[in-house]
Amino acid sequence: MAVQIRKLDSTAPDFTQTLDALLAFEAETDDAIESAVARILADVKKRGDAAVLEYTNTFDRIPNGGAASMAAFDVGQAELDAALAALPDAQRDALRVAAERIRVFHERQKQELNGFTFTEPDGTVLGQRVTPLDRVGIYVPGGKAAYPSSVLMNAIPAKVAGVQEIVMVVPTPSGVKNQMVLAAASIAGVTRVITIGGAQAVGALAYGTESIPAVDKIVGPGNAYVAAAKRRVFGTVGIDMIAGPSEILVLCDGTTDPDWVAMDLFSQAEHDELAQAILLCPDADYIARVEESIHKLLPTMPRAATITTSLTDRGALVKVRDMEEACTIANAIAAEHLEISAEEPLKWADRIRHAGAMFLGRFSSESLGDYCCGPNHVLPTSRTARFSSPLGVYDFQKRSSIIQVSEAGAQTLGKVAATLAYGEGLQAHARSAELRLKS
């Protein structure tokens, strides 16, 4: 199957509708998955460890007839450290460099959010405290989508936030552990690793079992069962966003090596057949050169089949009027990853209101950010960058308001509160304020 990437022109009368249709993505809700997940969660809530053990032995095909107890799924610190020590030096060093850069960036996020208090002339003190969550769960997929980089990106912000307990769950299909994932857990400072997965792991983290304490928030990607389970336990615990397919939008002024842009599009498309890679460029000749690069480079890619499907089904090369229009379209797309591959990237970045992460200048390939620049690679997908943010330290902190009203403050505030409370028909509210009045 040859790649057939669609070419669009922003001056076409139906351009907006065509683009909207291309961007449209609705996660399917599968009734069979929903009811299976509801059943598993209820069972884990009721039977605890016994249920988790049974599901894990069955679904993950744990060898030798399955584990005898939950204790078998706990991976000790020594095993994590051994996995790290056993890695090839280059991989260990790369993980360490990435982890340190991620930590440094996220420390900046932490510095920004300190809370505040201020005192009014009458002595009333108002403020906001910022505190970490006590305990969080990190879901790490097993099998082919087991990414050590995701362990770093999910665990390090929690660590920086000051979370005391970071419980990582990772399924081990057929009992096989991914050594690079364990090594990443060692580096990231995960406090406990349990080799369970699926809806049963989400349930265990949300409700707690005899052997697993309930956490306050669950983050990390997973398959359709995990996503459905996270949605269902939301409220009992916090969750991060339910991620859609990954996306890249490249804005290029036509001055970047077309091979680089083609490979950047590939780096998104290779993730998943549903991944989306789009180029916006005002230069038709340049677009043609990128297309040539795509055809030239694609056969060299081990994941050519995935790339071909992704680019054919969901990709596009878009000729725009100018870079100004490219920015307008980029704001409507609100992409997860936005590369501005241009001579004056900041000039265009200043016009962008919505993007998960912006990669500015031709040396800033998305792949650098995916691994080791420092900012998080967990980013809002499917246009949710309009209202949400990269995963960060702030996702592992929460705020509490501080209100300390002085006796003098209670006199002035009490009258205002009582007036409004009577207006709303809430007389106990009004009386509660009035009891603090001196006269």
Q: Is 223 annotated as a binding residue?
A: yes
Q: Which two tokens stand for residue 77?
A: 């610190």
Q: Is 246 annotated as a binding residue?
A: yes
Residue 268 counted as an annotated binding residue: yes
d(CA 159, CA 312): 41
Q: Known catalytic residue: 106?
A: no
> Is residue 128 part of an annotated ligand binding site?
no
Residue 295 marked in a binding site:
no
Report the alpha-carbon distance of residue 128 to residue 114 in Å, rounded.
9
Q: What angle do CA 108, 111, 115 make, to 5 degrees?
A: 150
Cβ proximity to a copy of itself, 8 vs 338, nearer residue: 338
Q: Is 106 annotated as a binding residue?
A: no
Q: How far is the CB of 371 from a copy of itself (least distance, A)?
A: 4
Q: Are residues 26 and 186 in contact, defined by beta-carbon separation less than 8 angstroms?
A: no
Flag whether 411 is marked binding.
no
- Residue whose CB is less far from a copy of itself, 57 or 376: 376
Q: Which is nearer to a copy of itself, 46 or 129 (CB)?
A: 129
The minimum distance between CB 149 and a copy of itself, in angstroms, equals: 6
| Least distance in angstroms from the C-beta of 50 to a copy of itself | 21
Q: Which is nearer to a copy of itself, 65 or 235 (CB)?
A: 235
Shortest approach of a copy of itself to residue 381 CB, angstroms? 10
Nearer to a copy of itself, 144 or 285 (CB): 144
Q: Minimum Å distance from CB 53 to a copy of itself?
A: 25
Set 337, 339, 366, 377: catalytic member: 337
Concerning whether 337 is annotated as a catalytic residue, the answer is yes
Taking the C-alpha atoms of residue 330 and residue 325, their distance in angstroms, rounded to an integer, is 8
Identify which of residues 182 and 269 has a Cβ nearer to a copy of itself in the complex.
Answer: 269
Please indicate if the annotation marks 200 as binding a ligand: yes
The active-site residue, picked from 270, 336, 339, 366, is 336
Q: What minimum distance in Å lies between the beta carbon of 143 and a copy of itself?
A: 12
> CB atoms < 10 A from the CB of 130, how many?
17
Q: How far is the CB of 385 from a copy of itself (least distance, A)?
A: 7
Q: What's the distance, Cα to Cα, between the start and end of the chain in Å?
A: 86
Residue number, 59 or 389, with CB nearest to a copy of itself: 389
Known binding residue 271? Answer is yes
Residue positions annotated with a catalytic role: 336-337
Annotated binding-site members: 139, 200, 223, 246, 268, 271, 337, 370, 424, 429
Annotated binding-site members for NAD(+): 139, 200, 223
Annotated binding-site members for Zn(2+): 268, 271, 370, 429
